[in-house]
Chain A
């Protein structure tokens, strides 16, 4: 069955450093992958979409890579700020217009 893995442990980094979050998947060949941010008590908010034929996508301080051979996506936040502290969810094309979400990784950026 399809499986998506994100680090369950929180990632703690210092302000100004680059945060790198990992999303691994198995038994899957998604056509695209999305990343969302979720703050406590709120719904997920879309950040980036990357398709299977794209290696890398950037948006301001965010960068996403998609390696279909390794079945892995990396999500980078450069020059991280305390305001970047949140849970980040990876979501894969689940077929038929749906998304299958990972459980997310909490990022804590300390000043």
Chain B
């Protein structure tokens, strides 16, 4: 398996624009997680899915953030409209079952000017 795949790897956009981040989890994994990492706050959980169903989105900072998982092999995290404070590295991770290790993608570095 190729591991967790994320695209794009880098995204530079202007304030107010819509940003869509994409993730393909490892085949067979039931859990998918979206994280955001900054120097100040570290790695923070935004939302996670179990069997394509959103379970907990309490980490999503604002209504500007939304996430979907239309099928077991694809998820998106959308920011609309984007703001400079959204600049961070966004990671997607997947895991097989509860309490198991999480496999992280390479991340998307987002810069909002």
- A residues neighboring B (CB under 8 Å): 31-32, 34, 41-46, 49, 89, 93-94, 96-104
List residues of chain B with CB within 8 A of the CB of A34. Answer: 101
Chain A's nearest CB lies how many Å from the CB of B52? 14
User: Which of the candidate stretches B12-20, B61-69, B102-110 sits at the interface with the other chain?
Assistant: B102-110
Main SS class of interface, B? strand
Most B CB within 10 A of own CB, among A32, A45, A103, A104: A103
CB pairs A–B below 8 angstroms (16 shown):
A31-B99, A41-B106, A42-B107, A43-B91, A43-B93, A43-B106, A45-B104, A46-B103, A94-B45, A96-B56, A97-B31, A97-B48, A98-B33, A98-B56, A100-B45, A101-B43
Chain A residues near B42 (CB-CB < 8 A): 101-104
Q: Are B48 and A98 in contact (CB under 8 A)?
A: yes
* Closest A residue, CB atoms, query B106: A43
Do B45 and A98 have beta carbons less than 8 Å apart? Answer: yes
- Which of chain B's residues 1-35 have a Cβ closer than 8 Å to chain A? 4, 31, 33
Q: How far is the CB of A8 from chain B (nearest CB, A)?
A: 10
